[in-house]
Amino acid sequence: MDKDAKKSIIKMFMILVYCYLGMMAIMYFQQRSLLYFPGGARPDIAALTQTQPTIIPVQSDEDIAFNAWYWPAKENMPTLVFFHGNGQAYEYWVNKLMIYHAQGYGVFFTDYRGYGGAKGKPTEQGIYADARAHINALIDATQLTPDALVYYGESLGTGVATQMATEFPPMAIVYESAYSGLNEVAKSRYGIFPIDILMKDKFRSIDKISALTMPKLFVHGAIDVVVPIRFGRALFDAAPEPKQWIEIENAGHNNLYDHGAQLQISQFLSTLKPQAKE
């Protein structure tokens, strides 16, 4: 091989190295904009449902505050504490939750910094702080205890539900489109990069779930391409009993309710032991 050919090969190699390092730098510095998708101010609740909630003020870190939506339960019925996904879909979320409220369950809607017009930018630890503040505010305002609550995590929110369950153990947990850890999902897409080193917000539920002994329902779409089902199954397999796995055929990530998820979740909720009020 002549010198010119060697130089060309070395030059091409260096270009590839620079491109790789450049892409890695972009992923590192822009990773949170690739993970969280907050929008503008959330709509007035009156525009979303005729069933108006009680507003519970929530004070999180520093100047980060929320006006949380709370719909009380019927007597001896649990309250669902909802931890939403990484997008911003208030109309969809409220419509979904009102199904359960119509069945008598309470509903408490938690939110995250940066979402719905709230101050701050979302991070894993910041979201945990917001969720923690919401639960404390709910307990203070209603005198409910954690064992009267059912945590409902959706996608990203399943990691939030898991963390909160280690701090405020609930009656039960509903996992919709869960994952073992977001770093595992990221590695399945960007495996040529050192994701475990680069990724800041990993939400590793699989490292925490062994401590959660309350009933757990896992619902996952068989053709989910956002969080492939194997990641939900890995979390389920690591979870202690009691637990239940529901795989919904022909469902993806955002259309589980079009394929009967609500019926499965309602059936699970109906098996939970009612909490008598003191």
- CATH number of the CATH domain containing 77: 3.40.50.1820
The total number of structural domains that make up the chain:
2
In eight-state DSSP terms, residue 70 is E
User: Is the residue at 277 inside a domain?
Assistant: no
User: Is the residue at 138 inside a domain?
Assistant: yes
* 5 and 46 both lie in a single domain: no
User: Is the residue at 128 inside a domain?
Assistant: yes
Nearest-angstrom CA–CA distance, 226 and 121 = 23
Computed over every residue of the chain, the mean pLDDT equals 94
Q: Counting every residue, how long is the chain?
A: 278
* 142 and 14 both lie in a single domain: no
User: Is the residue at 1 inside a domain?
Assistant: yes
* 111 and 217 both lie in a single domain: yes
Confidence of residue 191 (pLDDT cuts 50, 70, 90): confident
Q: DSSP 3-state assignment of 152? A: strand
* 204 and 155 both lie in a single domain: yes
Q: Confirm if 223 and 251 have CB atoms less than 8 A apart.
A: yes
Residue 20: give the domain boundaries: 1-30
User: Is the residue at 275 inside a domain?
Assistant: no
Please determine, for residue 276, whether its predicted confidence score (pLDDT) is greater than 90. Answer: no
* 98 and 192 both lie in a single domain: yes
User: Is the residue at 36 inside a domain?
Assistant: no
User: Is the residue at 238 inside a domain?
Assistant: yes
Q: What is the mean pLDDT of residues 181-193?
A: 93
In eight-state DSSP terms, residue 148 is G
Nearest-angstrom CA–CA distance, 91 and 43 = 8
Q: What is the mean pLDDT of residues 87-116?
A: 97
* 127 and 2 both lie in a single domain: no
Q: Is the pTM of this model over 0.85?
A: yes
* 85 and 3 both lie in a single domain: no
* 10 and 123 both lie in a single domain: no
Confidence of residue 1 (pLDDT cuts 50, 70, 90): low
